[in-house]
Amino acid sequence: MLRQFKLPDVGEGLTEGEILQWLVAVGDTVTVNQPLCEVETAKAAVELPSPYAGTVTALLHEAGDTVDVGAPIITIDTGGEGAPGPAGSAAGDGEEVAAGLIGGAAPGGRTAVLVGYGPRNTEARRRPRRAVATAPAPLPGADHSRAADVPDHPPLLATAPDMTAKPVRHGGLEVGRQAEAHAASADAAPSRAAEVGRRRPRPLAKPPVRKLAKDLGVDLAGLTGSGDGGVITRADVQQAAAGPASAPPGATNVAIMAGEQRIPVKGVRKHTAAAMVASAFTAPHVTEFLTVDVTRMVKLRGRLAARPEFAGVKVSPLLFVAKALLLAAGRHPMVNSSWDEAAQEIVVHGQVNLGIAAATPRGLVVPNVKDAGRLSLAELAGALTQLTETARAGRTAPEDMIGGTITITNVGVFGVDTGTPILNPGESAILAFGAIRAMPWVHKGRVRPRQVTQLALSFDHRVIDGELGSRFLADVGALLSDPGTALAF
């Protein structure tokens, strides 16, 4: 019994997702909840677990394809042992989807989403390639390549060229995309099945290698892989691009400006661009700056890092900025609010969901720590460490990306002193934290070298007026300058 799994809405109201890589291949046996593929949406990259147990018969889209929510992406033969369909329903066109399973109908007319984010319980292995002469005709949309191999390096932005390998150019020219090879012979039989049977097999290569070949204009079909089992490696592609034999008859060389690249905007980067434009041109931004002597904070950081409560977590300057912001927000609750355009009301939130802007290979994301104000300093340190590590690994869960109420962006980790941050949509304030530098500072009547940083607070002037923004920023600065001030809050 063939069942098709449709791309579910893995977030709130998402309309499409990009298949980053397949974790199974045609012919693999899968179990319920085994990850099938990795998909990037506008908010995060997630693994989609299988709602069925059976054998994969077709991959309906290739890695790199953008698929609409609700479109079938894989066909699984359950052998009649799959999950039963809803009562009274009949399958049509070879498709059955059980209610409550991923991609199936859910209460309220929505599409059921993920069933979990657990680790893989099986490891998919590459099947030996069948001989071309005996290989059966592939099913429509089937992908016989092995897309589940782990890349040689952390995944780069799925919408950008692989930045670890630069295009090779000859005399200002870059090898263009290869013309599609046609292997039909003059005495080919008219039968479509016979034509499919003679079609050469798809070259074996990992998704990053396929992307590199596409960027360099190298036809993988003309390469012989040097890896295990004939797998084409990055070195094979780079060697083909560098050599004169890489361009078969019919290939074109396209003259372009040196270094020019075109990067499709999709996924997280597309969502971020749209959100920033909407925020910048909707909320009237005001930014205030404050320079702070944080020498005492730096000394306290060293003492706390040696305490057993903080073993295994990072005691960073960001931790103290986060704690100072939470304490100041408790004193000025209007800062932790949002503007409801439809109702023309200001919504003051009952808890602080603290967002931390994190730069990832796929773009900027802002996951948040739910109800961060209830956490102790050690608990907050652990939460921030886990949040940033998960974000940089591209494994942030969709629920961690929604519901933020106020954000910190740490530009200091890049050596930047300050900036004018743009509000995260739906929030009324964002604090930029700059680099800590040794600078001359008047301390106790004398100019001395002190540890100094700069804070920049952007806020929505419809919600926060100049006085409230100034008092809030001053309180954050006072807590960082003298952490003992926290006892008075």
Question: Mind listing the pLDDT tens digit for each residue in 369-383?
Answer: 999 999 999 999 999
pLDDT-derived band at 190, boundaries 50, 70, 90: very low
The H or E element that residue 454 is part of is strand 446-460
Q: What is the mean pLDDT of residues 3-12?
A: 81
Lowest-pLDDT choice from 17-31, 85-99, 128-142, 409-423: 85-99
* DSSP letter for each residue of 253-308: EEE--TT-------HHHHHHHHHHHHHHTTS-EEEEEEEEE-HHHHHHHHHHHTSG
Q: Which fold has domain 267-488?
A: Chloramphenicol Acetyltransferase (3.30.559)
Name the average pLDDT for the chain: 76
Q: Torsion-angle region of residue 350: left (phi > 0), alpha (psi -120 to 50) or beta?
A: alpha
Q: What percent of the chain shows pLDDT beyond 70?
A: 69
pLDDT digits (tens, 9 = 90+) for 245-286: 444 444 444 444 556 777 777 776 777 777 778 788 788 999
Phi and psi at residue 216, to the nearest 5° = -90, -5
Which residues are within 8 A (CB) of 55 and not within 5 positions of it... i.e. 6 or more apart? 27, 28, 29, 30, 76, 77, 79
Domain map (residue ranges) of the chain: 2-109, 169-255, 267-488
- DSSP run (H or E) holding 47: strand 45-49
Q: What is the DSSP letter of 92?
A: B
Task: Collapse the DSSP code of 460 into the 3-class scheme (helix H, G, I; strand E, B; otherwise coil) and give the result.
Answer: strand
Residue 130: what pLDDT?
A: 47
Question: pLDDT grade, residue 13 (50/70/90)?
Answer: low
Please name which of 352, 354, 317, 373 lies closest in space to residue 489, comparing C-alpha atoms: 373
Q: Across the strands, what pairs with 75?
A: 4, 58
Q: Which residue has better confidence, 228 or 115?
A: 228
If we measure between CA atoms, which residue out of 438, 212, 135 comes closest to residue 223? 212
Q: What is the DSSP letter of 72?
A: E
Check residue 12 and give its pLDDT.
58
**Hey, what are 378's tokens?**
């050690």
Which of the listed ranges 180-184, 201-205, 391-395 does the model predict with the highest average pLDDT?
Answer: 391-395
pLDDT value at 223 more than 80: yes
Helix (H, G, I), strand (E, B) or coil at 211: helix
Class level of CATH domain 169-255: few secondary structures
Place of tokens 């989807």: 97
Residue 270, pLDDT score = 75
- pLDDT at residue 16, rounded to an integer: 82
Q: Which candidate, 308, 316, 324, places its Cα nearest to that of 372?
A: 324
pTM score, whole prediction: 0.55
Amino acid at 381: A
Tell me the catalytic residues.
Answer: 461
Indicate the helix (H) or strand (E) that contains 236. helix 234-242
Q: Return the amino acid letter for 294.
A: V
CATH fold of 2-109: OB fold (Dihydrolipoamide Acetyltransferase, E2P) (2.40.50)
Q: Report the DSSP pairing between strands 368-369 and 363-365.
A: unpaired
- What tokens were used for 454? 């700069």
Which one-letter amino acid corresponds to residue 290?
A: L
| Contact by Cβ (8 Å): 73, 7 | yes
b (16+ CB within 10 A) / e for 250-269: eeeeeeeeeeeeeeeebbbb
